Amino acid sequence: MVETVTVFGGDGFVGRYVVQALLRDGHRVRVASRNPKRGWFLKAQANLGQIAYVSADVTRPETLPHAVSGATAVINLVGILKGDFDAVHRQGAANVAAASRVAGAHCLIQVSAIGADADSPSAYGKSKGEAEAAVRAAFPAATILRPSIIFGREDQFINRFANLIRMLPVVPVIGGGTKFQPVFVGDVARAVAVVVSEPAIHASKTYELGGPDVMTMSQINHWIAEATGRTRPMIEVPDNISAALATLTGWLPAAPITHDQWLMLQQDNVVGAKSKGLAAFGIAPTPLDVVAPGWLVQYRKHGRFGAAA
């Protein structure tokens, strides 16, 4: 049976991979976003009539019924790194969950993040935790996925540091000892698609998703430098200095990190010991060093003609 799946944020970084995974599985996909034109590039991935677009804003509940009408499954990928976290994360997720329940959807997937905690000192982490609670209250059978840092060709994590390493003669590393478990965007997308295909198995469950390697921020930066053939001295910025730099955000455009991001860096971002992770979906995690060199080539001195190390 062909199902209609609504993907909020389907035109974003993670969204494009989720949409592609759903299309490959034969679903009809409805991409819901504030600016549907941004997702038109996905048409090339779909068969005739397999993909549709609808204008919707998770912070405006009156725009959601049309987006979820007739959908068997609904996926909420909407998230921000700056701005009104409460409106977008908590209230937006609550709006999507309520609309999905009224529409009679059988499956709701809320993509959250490791570190989501209603008691988090970080506004980002707090809003993500409160979003999970709001989703559970409105749609108890929802499946919640908490990935660690997600990497892929279009990401804003690995690419950001690769660009800094390319530009700076000396690279400052903030939160050098903080641990991450980077997870490939394609694996996250596949996990979402598995939940859509097997909603009863994963209903009401929460999963943390990570890759095969746990790396510190310092190790990630050194790996990127090696992969792009850029030898750079790196200086780990002490916490008291990085905290001071973070407070400059808001009036100093060049501040390297927001205060809220600094707060998030005070805790490791790794999968819990009791979590089944990607194995729960039959997925073998993809290592960073298997796929990242394919796009990091652009940061080498002479592009693909430059030496890798």
Q: Tell me how far apart the alpha carbons of residues 61 and 257 are, in angstroms, rounded to a whole number.
A: 32
- What lies within 8 Å, CB to CB, of 238 at 6+ separation is none
Q: What pLDDT digit, counting tens, does each position of 89-142 carry?
A: 999 999 999 999 999 999 999 999 999 999 999 999 999 999 999 999 999 999
Which tokens hold the place of 82?
A: 């700056």
Q: How far is CA 264 from CA 124, 126, 218, in A?
A: 8, 10, 16
Q: How far is CA 247 from CA 12, 29, 94, in A?
A: 29, 42, 31
Helices 92-103 and 123-138 cross at an angle (nearest 10°) of 20
**Residue type for 82, please?**
K
pTM for the structure as a whole: 0.94
Q: Which CATH class is domain 4-153+181-209?
A: alpha beta
Phi-psi map region of 83: left, alpha, beta (phi>0 left; psi -120 to 50 alpha): left
Average per-residue pLDDT in the chain?
94
Q: What pLDDT digit, counting tens, does each position of 179-193 carry?
A: 999 999 999 999 999
Is residue 266 within 8 Å of 191, Cβ to Cβ?
A: no
Q: What pLDDT digit, counting tens, does each position of 218-228 carry?
A: 999 999 999 99
What per-residue confidence (pLDDT) applies to 307?
57
Q: Which of 214, 224, 306 is nearest to 269 (CA)?
A: 214
Q: How far is CA 54 from CA 40, 102, 105, 266, 309, in A?
A: 11, 18, 17, 39, 46
Q: What pLDDT digit, counting tens, does each position of 47-94 carry?
A: 999 999 999 999 999 999 999 999 999 999 999 998 999 999 999 999
Is residue 269 within 8 Å of 114, Cβ to Cβ?
A: yes
Decide if pLDDT at 253 tops 50: no
Helix (H) or strand (E) run with residue 78 in it: none
Q: Where are the domains of the chain?
A: 4-153+181-209, 158-178+213-269+284-304
Q: Which of 75, 86, 92 is nearest to 30 (CA)?
A: 75
Is residue 225 within 8 Å of 162, Cβ to Cβ?
A: no
